[in-house]
Structure 1
Amino acid sequence: MDKFIKDKINQSISDRKKHHSRFSENCSTYSSFLELEKKTFEAGCLSRKHKELMALSISIVTKCEPCIEWHVQQACLAGASDKEIYETIDVAIEMGGGPAAAYSRFALNALDFHKEEK
């Protein structure tokens, strides 16, 4: 994996962990957001895996690299296969066109990154 991409993903993960407590201590809406996230991704009619794949597709279309990295990781932890990640990218490209195709490359980098980290 390209060092630039690996460093970028590591920095995103580091920033997320570093600022978590800062947000918790200073932002009145952050704990509510975390509770919303927890409830949203609980298994219901849809499994957590399928919800994470949906979130990944949305993250690609909205061009949010930290979200892409997070939802790739969470989808993998929820049991998503590489093939399921690729099909999710297909949906994002169809919905988002060319820009989604460009940001899908970051999803592939995040997939490679998290597979190397195991």
Structure 2
Amino acid sequence: MKFDEDKIIQSTINRKQLKIRFSKNSNVYDSFTELEKKAFEEGNISKKHKELMALSISIVIKCEPCIEWHVQQAYLAGASDEEIFETIDVAIEMGGGPAAAYSRFALNALDFHKKQTKY
């Protein structure tokens, strides 16, 4: 588990540190982050459910930084462990064996963020 924690810690550090660099040097990064904010706003579908959808997609496309982010955001939006497991079930059905392997990373990310977050 230590390896996965290190990977998750590094992912969060990279996201925070490189955001400023991207913002200063990319022509599209800030527009993308605005798109992300709009896409995940509360609407007819709750932010929690949007984050769970994004988590499932992230697992299927095998994007560990996306998995880490959307696990955290789903958890912070109130997703229960059971809802996250059902989301993982959908990802496994849609993505097969590779999705099952990346789902383990999602569980490690959930455990990590639960330890980091104090309500």
**What interval of TM-score do these two structures reach, taking the shorter chain for normalisation?**
over 0.9
Q: CA RMSD in A?
A: 0.5
Q: Does 1:116 align with 2:115?
A: yes
Letter in structure 1 aligned against 2:19: H
| Count of aligned pairs | 117
After the TM superposition, which segments of 4 or more aligned residues of structure 1 sit over 6 Å from their partners? none
State how 1:1-118 maps to structure 2 within 5 Å. 2-118=1-117
Deviation at 1:76, TM superposition (A): 0.5
Query: Following the alignment from structure 1 to structure 2, what is the Cα–Cα distance between the partners of residues 83 and 34?
Result: 29
Distance 2:31 2:13 in 1: 22
Residue-by-residue CA offset, 1:85-114 (whole Å, 9 max, x unaligned): 000000000000010000000000001101
Uncovered stretches (5+) of structure 1, i.e. residues with no partner: none
> How far did residue 116 of structure 1 move?
1.2
% identical equivalent positions: 75
Distance 1:98 1:28 in 2: 37
- What letter matches 1:81 in structure 2? S
Counterpart AA for 2:32: F
Q: Which amino acid aligns with 2:105?
A: F
Give the distance between the partners of 1:36 and 1:23, measured in 2 at CA. Answer: 15
| Unmatched segments (≥5 aa) in structure 2 | none
Alpha-carbon distance in 1 for matches of 2:89, 2:3: 25
